[in-house]
Amino acid sequence: MLTKKCIQVGDKAPYFSATAVYEQEFKQVNLSDYEGKYLILLFYPLDFTFVCPTEIVAFSEIYDQLISLNTEILAISVDSEYSHLAWTQLDREAGGVGELRYPLVADLKKEISLSFNVLNEEGKSLRGLFIIDKEGIIQHSLINSLDVGRNVDETLRTLKAIQYVQNNPDEVCPANWQPGQSTIKTKLNRSQEYFQSI
């Protein structure tokens, strides 16, 4: 019997190893393959659905930007690798996802979805998005209902903010921060500089 385990930001990402579809082939992916890089885990309910292909394709279209940020991406659902393969072989105009720039991971046993606490009562993955840093620590999590797609631009903004504060440990990013904008110094005698400048 599978039981839920709660994880949160700041925890080590649960380890997994699974079969994925990438470039029309089956390959084994392991969380440890991504040590030293940032990783976005994109959980989604099912192949051949309505919102899912819009997200999967949108993230594929920003893949070059992710690579420039030392970041990889894996999309995960409870479908089999055979379903993933068929979905990538179907044209986007017909509801498929076509050629993707990153792997689709098969979680048929639902163990990965369960370990990240995104498995719902129907046995589908909710729209969970996790940003994992170079040390394997979860830095961001977002979970949407099945009917609401995620924002690619906000994911990029959040990733850049995470990387900025990790590289500048005496600074934090305010609401709506974008690269190049002012940050807040974490020393009490300097934190007011930001508020005086806006």
Residues with catalytic function? 52
CA atoms within 13 A on the CB side of 24: 4
Residue type, 14: P
Residues 77/17, Cβ–Cβ less than 8 Å = no
DSSP E strands: which ranges in the chain? 17-22, 25-30, 38-43, 71-77, 104-106, 127-132, 138-144, 171-172, 184-185
Distance CA 85, CA 21 (A): 6
Residue type, 67: I
Distance CA 6, CA 124 (A): 17
Residue type, 6: C
